[in-house]
Structure 1
Amino acid sequence: MTLNMPHPVKDPKSGIYYIRVRVPADLKAAVGRAEVSKSLRTREPSEAKKRFAVEYAAIQRRWTALRATPESLPLKQIVSLAGRVYHRLMETLEDEPGESLVWEQVARLNITAARDDDSLERWYGPTVEEILIDEGIAIDQVTRRRLITEIKRAWEQATEQQHKRSQGDFSPDPNANRFPEWAPEGKPSADAGPTLSDLFDRWKKDHLANGKSENTVKDFAQKFDALKKYLGHENVGRISPREISEWTDHLRHELGLTPKTVSGKYLAAVKTVFRLARSKFLIESDPVEGVSVKIPTKVKSRSSGFTEAEAKRVLTAAQKVFNQQSNMAHYNKLACRWVPWICAYTGARAGEITQLRKEDLTVVNGIPQITITPEAGSVKAGKYRDVPVHPHLQEIGLLDFIRSARSGYLFHRGTSTPAEALKRSGNARDKIAVWVRESAGITDERIQPNHAWRHRFRTVALNANIAPEYIRAIQGHAGGTAAESYGEYTVETLYREVCKLPRIALP
């Protein structure tokens, strides 16, 4: 006898695939119909199969929840479930919280929703149902009332934090860790073993012990949070290679990330952590091993660096930034005024320059130089370098600007916390990128508004007969051979090479 397995169904008229699943006989009364039907929003057979699998799993969880015997949950588990509401809202609006007025209105609505039990049920009841279905559990009425109360508290806490963010305060919520990890009682023994957080914490410990960047830790944490959100759990033993592959598809097709980003950022981060866990015998098998994302060959239709006309356009706009009326903060104006010029003559990364401090300018044997160092924030190679200041930069007043600045960071207010200083340097870098697009008018999406200086510098330097090894030393690129890690170039040598760069004459 052949069994008809559930599969996507194609609508003969529209060509769009649907999921159609019969409701089990014992659940028809609860569901209110005999069949569940939902559009998969695609005409592609392969994509339909992937989306079908996700939707079918969600339906099965709903059946499980409907069949579950209502139970009473302790407060710790209730608070843990409520934490999902908090974390979801905080993650969704992590980078752009919106206007303050919106959150002030939400706060008023929260008060209205708490007027009586009926209002609480109308406001938070649907969220309770969604959480219960996700977990495949049922709860009694007493637990439901307690869960609604805790979800209300979580929502109010998230509202307060988002209101702070909308006013420019992105400091961590000191009470965010009050939500315990979800751990249902009677958890099967198969779920025992390390969690994603366990593996990440072990990698983080090794990473920082090796003196590597805290910025990478933050970046990897975001990637792991995305994976945990997709899986709905943290148990490593339950993760299969197929689920990792489906996660990469989700990042591409549902969230719109490019194959390069998915492969080089998200998948690479997860692979790095799992590889370490495997080497430390924390796991027996690696579900990420063998998973890959095909990156299509990129069609290159222009240089990755600024053209001469584009470079002059940005630098001309930089000279005029303080003459134009705008709401831009003073430090951001300083960044737009000087960072493009410094990048043009050093080939440095914009983020390396936005973290410069007054004390990073020194004079050695009469030659002014700036020190790009991890002590100020983050340097990709993890190694400091000294870069002589080109004569043209001296003539247009860079040294006068630095010497007249107050101690500390040149392009933001700075802070006593290294992580916060790094974040502010990144914000300044990002502001410059927006300014290059919107104010300087460089709208060609084929180039990066900050990194294009780095590409242009190498081109100009090669054309000025600067040897590749000197270019690498100035830009901070890793050497081509092991021998290049021995010895250093003197400031006189690098200044001699920097002076070969032609002056940029503006119209």
Structure 2
Amino acid sequence: MSNHTRYLQRRGDTFSFRIAVPSDLLAIIGKREFIKSLHTTDKNIAVPLALSLAATAKHLFNNLKTSMSEANDNKQRDVLIEVKKRMRLIQEKEQGEGALIEQKLAHLREIKQVKLKAENDAFKRALASSRAGGVSIPIANKQGSAVAQESPLPQVKPKRVIWHRLSEIVPAWIRLKNPALATVEIYQAAVKRFEGHFPELYAETIEKRHMREYIEWLKSEGLSSKSIEKEHGAIRALLTIAEHEEWIVLNPAKGIMLPALKGKKVRSYTPEECKKIFNSPVFLNGERPIAAKGEAAYWIPLLMLFTGARREEICQLTTERVKESDGISHLLINPIDDDGRLKTDESQRAVPIHNELIKMGFLAFVKKQAEAGGGQLFPLLKPNKREQYGAKWGDWWGRYIRQTIGITDKRISPAHSFRHLFITECKRLRFREDYERALVGHVGGSRKDAHDEYGELLIPELAVELNRIDFRGLNLSHLHMLNLGRTHE
């Protein structure tokens, strides 16, 4: 049975709504299921009516459970008497229920191009039935005939049900979480895929079985375990917002088993690979492909190597962020992830400029850029709509590493593997944890401890430690200004 017909049954040509009573309410309610005629032979009308009744019925079931668990003995007895005496399950105001049904039918027209007209007799009957004194559930008496109970159940009066598409939750998630634009796009893509597979589902009607089915479908579509984890994470986060707003009771995406991750593990460049990189045409012959964005081709890889900084942190540097303190030249680096988002759990870092970079003429390059007007250190880099300055450059660098230099190991992340190498060097040389953190920011789960709040490391101390890094004897003296005879402008 499909997801949207599980609450439907046919009696002759007419559709009826049918829902089972939860097992822990059987003794209270005194019957196993509720059945109500929907007064229509048109399935396109019956589906939204049944789904609406199902959502409201589930809401009432939850209210009944709460009433029984929180009430005293006398109250419990009153609830039991009331529920057994009459079985009216749903009571809505005329305008609310009618508007709800019309809203769902409008959506149904949109997603399935169902041609329903207001003058359709079946539609009129279904709508009129929903408005006529509220919607009630018939109860079978001893003779088997249906008797509708009309008196209300005050302590568990259901609220008007309003459903939320996942796409309608995205704005609330953005407002609460303030995510990066790149993350928003990932979530929107996940929602589009989910709603394309389950066009009839709302946050209030998604169940664990739907999530399990969705995961299996993603696997059948050939998505990697990592991609499935991201898709599931997006849906789970949006349903967490729905849970927070009390639109749903429990998040059906929680506790879902995901495929084991088999994704690649990023590794560092080896010294031998670094030697190949820095003896390639860009560094030896001065080649500057258009996509390499001028001197960004030369300096960004060297800066990532000798600072351990992220790609975006380097690409967004300005001439004003190259400073000198206590005779030590250093970079003021804002913690920016490669999605272009400022990392609020990290502070600005002062990273000394390695002696090798100075010998290569980096400070001379900065001076020339400042004299030309300053601003962006690499002015040919332009931000994309996600405010990433290095995205296009990163695409070129990836091609250069794999096609020109010939490093094709899939575990290599063309830009990020420099950061891995730098951190590996810090550990090889047994840097103190606070020194390592001062240079590269948070690594993995590391965070500041209480002692870090009582003082700052002096830049000269950091410079001494930083200049111990030699990448196991990597020789880049051929790039020194004295040997190269030029600055990179």
Per the TM superposition, whether the score is higher than 0.5 is: yes
The one-letter amino acid paired with 2:349 is: R
User: Which of 402, 417, 420 is the aligned partner of 1:437?
Assistant: 402
Which position in structure 1 is the counterpart of 2:429?
464
Q: 1:365 aligns with which of 326, 341, 346?
A: 326
Mapped contact 1:314–1:440 kept (Cα < 8 A):
yes
Tell me if the contact between 2:207 and 2:252 (Cα under 8 Å) persists in the aligned partners.
Answer: yes
Kindly state the Cα deviation for residue 492 of structure 1 after the two structures are TM-superposed: 1.8
**Is 1:321–1:337's contact at 8 Å kept on the other side of the alignment?**
no
Q: Please give the alpha-carbon distance, in whole angstroms, between the structure 2 residues aligned to 1:234 and 1:433.
A: 41
Q: Which residue number corresponds to residue 222 of structure 1? A: 189
Query: 2:207 matched to which residue of 1?
Result: 240
> Aligned residue for 1:344?
305
Matches within 5 A, 1:88-487: 135=112, 137-138=114-115, 192-208=162-178, 213-232=180-199, 235-254=202-221, 256-263=222-229, 265-296=230-261, 304-317=267-280, 319-320=282-283, 323-324=286-287, 326=289, 328-329=290-291, 331=293, 333-373=294-334, 377-380=340-343, 381-405=345-369, 406-411=373-378, 413=380, 420=385, 422-477=387-442, 479-480=446-447, 482-483=449-450, 486=453, 487=455
1:268 alignment partner AA: G
**Alignment match, 2:150:** none
Structure 1 residue aligned with 2:458: 490
Q: What's 1:116 paired with? A: none
Contact 2:300–2:314 under 8 Å retained in 1? yes
Q: Helix, strand or coil for the counterpart of 1:386?
A: strand
Number of equivalent positions: 330
Q: 1:251 to 1:469 in 2, by over 3 A?
A: farther
Q: CA deviation at 1:459?
A: 1.8
CA contact (8 A) 2:320 2:374 kept: yes
Distance 1:388 1:282, change over 3 A: farther
**Structure 2 length normalisation: TM-score?**
0.58
CA–CA distance in structure 2, aligned partners of residues 484 and 276 of structure 1: 36
For 1:496, the aligned partner's letter is V
* Identity in percent: 25
Distance in structure 1 (CA, Å) of the matches to 2:342 and 2:403: 28
CA drift at 1:299: 8.5
What TM-score comes out, normalization by structure 1 length?
0.56
Structure 1: gaps of 5 or more residues: 7-25, 27-65, 70-130, 141-184
- The one-letter code matched in structure 2 to 1:489 is L
Change (3 A) 1:367 1:321: same
Q: Distance in 2 between matches of 1:198 and 1:465?
A: 51
1:323 alignment partner, SS class: coil
Could you give the per-residue CA deviations for residues 40-88 of structure 1, whole angstroms, max 9, x where no partner exists? xxxxxxxxxxxxxxxxxxxxxxxxxx9869xxxxxxxxxxxxxxxxxxx
Q: What is the root-mean-square deviation of aligned Cα atoms in Å?
A: 3.8
Cα distance, 1:383 vs. partner?
3.3
Equivalent residue runs for 1:12-91 within 5 Å: none
Letter of the structure 1 residue corresponding to residue 215 of structure 2? T
Answer yes or no: is the 8 Å Cα contact 1:191–1:235 preserved in 2: no
Cα deviation 1:429-460 (Å, max 9, x = unaligned):
23222221122221111222222112211222
Aligned twin of 1:170 = none
Q: 1:277 to 1:138 in 2, by over 3 A?
A: closer
**1:258 is aligned with what amino acid?**
S
Distance 1:358 1:206, change over 3 A: same
Q: Which runs of 5+ in 2 are unaligned?
A: 3-12, 14-41, 46-107, 118-125, 131-158, 479-489
**C-alpha separation in 2, matches of 1:321 and 1:357:** 26
Could you report, residue by residue, the CA deviation over 1:113-139 in whole angstroms, capped at 9, with x for unpaired residues? Answer: xxxxxxxxxxxxxxxxxx989616247
Q: Which amino acid aligns with 1:339?
A: I
Q: 2:306 & 2:388 partners in 1: Cα distance?
A: 25
The verdict on how the C-alpha distance between 1:389 and 1:374 changes in structure 2, with shifts beyond 3 A counting, is same
Secondary structure of the residue aligned to 1:369 is strand
Conserved? CA contact 1:271–1:288, under 8 Å: yes
Asked if the contact 1:68–1:136 (Cα under 8 Å) also holds between the matched residues in 2, the reply is: no
Equivalent position amino acid for 1:340 in 2: P
CA distance in 1, matches of 2:181, 2:110: 37
Question: Which amino acid is the alignment partner of residue 463 of structure 1?
Answer: R
Give deviations 1:261-307, integer Å, cap 9, x for gaps: 321x222233233224323424322121122313246787xx81111
Q: Determine the C-alpha separation between the residues in 1 that align with 2:434 and 2:327.
A: 24
- Assess if the C-alpha contact under 8 Å between 1:213 and 1:378 holds in 2: yes
> Structure 1 residues 225 and 469 mapped into 2: Cα distance closer, same or farther (>3 Å)?
farther
Partner of 1:15: none
Distance change >3 Å, CA 296–CA 216, structure 1 → 2: closer
The whole-number CA distance in structure 1 between the counterparts of 2:272 and 2:278 is 10
Question: Per the alignment, do residues 259 and 221 of structure 1 end up closer, same or farther by CA in structure 2, a change over 3 Å counting?
Answer: same
Counterpart-to-counterpart distance in 1, 2:448 and 2:292: 44
Counterparts of 2:202 and 2:311 in 1: how far apart (Å)? Answer: 39
